[in-house]
Amino acid sequence: MRSVTTTRFVAFFVWLAIGVAGPVAAADKASPEPAKPDFSTLVPRLVSDHAVPVARDLAARLVVLRERIDALCAETPANDAARAFDAAFGEAVAAHGRLFVLRFGALAEETRLERLAFVPDRRGVVRRQVTRLLADPDPSATDVATLRDKSVALQGLSGLEWIAYAADGSVGLGDRDAGRAFRCAYAGAIAERTARLAGEIVEAYRAPSGQTALLLAPGPDNALAQDAHAAAGFAFHQIVTSLTLVSDQVLAPVLEEGPPAARAARAPFARSHHALLHLRAALGGIETALRTAGFATMDADAAWIGDTMAFETKNAVAALEALPSGLAAALADPEQRAKLAYVALILDGLERTVGGELAGHLGFQGGFNALDGD
């Protein structure tokens, strides 16, 4: 009798053990390790879905700008030719702002960044070189082929701005004076040269070689990126570098002490009163590039960062849109200057959130900053 009872007692505990262990094992089986993020999608999306269409947009707007120069410099320009040129120049400036923040691949090679526009220009290189050229006209600057071999400061939109606009922000390119013919020919060559350059950038991203090809095909023998994580990290850090550039080298200098006009002149495209337009486009370009590639969706714990980027970028752009187009006027008004200071605070927060927290979630710490040592 005792042996039967003992047998039943042991059987009960065996059953209990099986009953407890079974669900635990099933639960373990139903909860596998979370899949690791697939970083291989980031750079291809960044190139095909963002870099190519943004570069193509710039190329198209530069073609229109070339046409507006021809109309403005015609023997009998239309009454609204100057206004049409200014609108086209502003659209080209905005398109440049959306593109130049990428800073990687085809855009970063063959001095393409600098030849599109020499910005930021803290030392006034464009002003000095263009002024010398106008004082001693060089016919080779009016030829698209030979213009490419000149200083990058003479080739891009920043050079065009200096010859096309007067100090008060009005369009002076079509003014009839002794230098009109040279200025018009030089302006046309710049527009043609930059339009071709933007087209080269489109094709260089579409049929990648050089740095773009290395980032799209990472591997153990790849000197730039040995795996997809390294490739994505490189592109990410180049875009974050643009955020730092906009914050530290564009906005911060204009908020320093000093006469408003002198401080405004430090910003890209301030002469044409398109500085704030370029700044808005750059901020939007950074947020759109990171969102399009999908950086913030790689880690579930970092999903909030994408929402924060979009929200704060929208706030910054709205604050900039509320300012007068002339940056000097905004700096001279304490209330308007406070809005610029508010934008600076937003950028400071975005630098920490994107360059710090998002980079940490993705394991991108310690990336190269192209502005180091400047």
As a whole number of angstroms, the distance between CA 94 and CA 38 comes to: 33
pLDDT of 118-156, one tens digit each? 999 989 999 999 999 999 999 999 999 999 999 999 999
Q: Give the pTM.
A: 0.89
Instruction: Band the pLDDT of 365: cuts 50, 70, 90.
Output: confident
Instruction: Band the pLDDT of 36: cuts 50, 70, 90.
Output: confident
Question: Percent of the chain, pLDDT > 90?
Answer: 82
pLDDT of residue 34: 54
Q: How is the chain split into domains, by residue range? A: 39-362
As a whole number of angstroms, the distance between CA 346 and CA 315 comes to: 8
Q: State phi, psi for 58 to the nearest 5 degrees.
A: -60, -45
Contacts of the segment 121-127: beta carbons below 8 A, 24+ positions apart: 121/153, 121/158, 121/268, 122/249, 122/253, 122/266, 125/153, 126/153, 126/154, 126/158, 126/159, 126/162, 127/162
Instruction: Band the pLDDT of 371: cuts 50, 70, 90.
Output: low
As a whole number of angstroms, the distance between CA 12 and CA 33 comes to: 34
Report the DSSP beta bridge partners of residue 165.
171
Indicate whether 317 pLDDT > 90: yes
Task: Answer yes or no: are the C-beta atoms of 161 and 173 closer than 8 Å.
Answer: no
Instruction: Band the pLDDT of 75: cuts 50, 70, 90.
Output: confident
Lowest-pLDDT choice from 12-26, 82-96, 238-252, 267-281: 12-26
Indicate whether 20 pLDDT > 90: no
Contacts of the segment 69-72: beta carbons below 8 A, 24+ positions apart: 69/173, 69/184, 69/187, 69/188, 69/191, 70/188, 72/171, 72/173, 72/174, 72/184
Indicate whether 25 pLDDT > 60: no
pLDDT of 47-73, one tens digit each? 999 999 999 999 999 999 999 999 999
Instruction: Band the pLDDT of 174: cuts 50, 70, 90.
Output: confident
Mean per-residue pLDDT for 169-180?
91
Question: Percent of the chain, pLDDT > 70?
Answer: 88
* In this structure, CATH architecture of domain 39-362: Up-down Bundle (1.20)
Mean per-residue pLDDT for 284-312?
95
Report the DSSP beta bridge partners of residue 171.
165
pLDDT of 113-127, one tens digit each? 999 999 999 899 999
pLDDT of residue 374: 43
Mean per-residue pLDDT for 346-358?
96
Indicate whether 15 pLDDT > 50: no
Q: Is 294 helix (H, G, I), strand (E, B) or coil?
A: coil
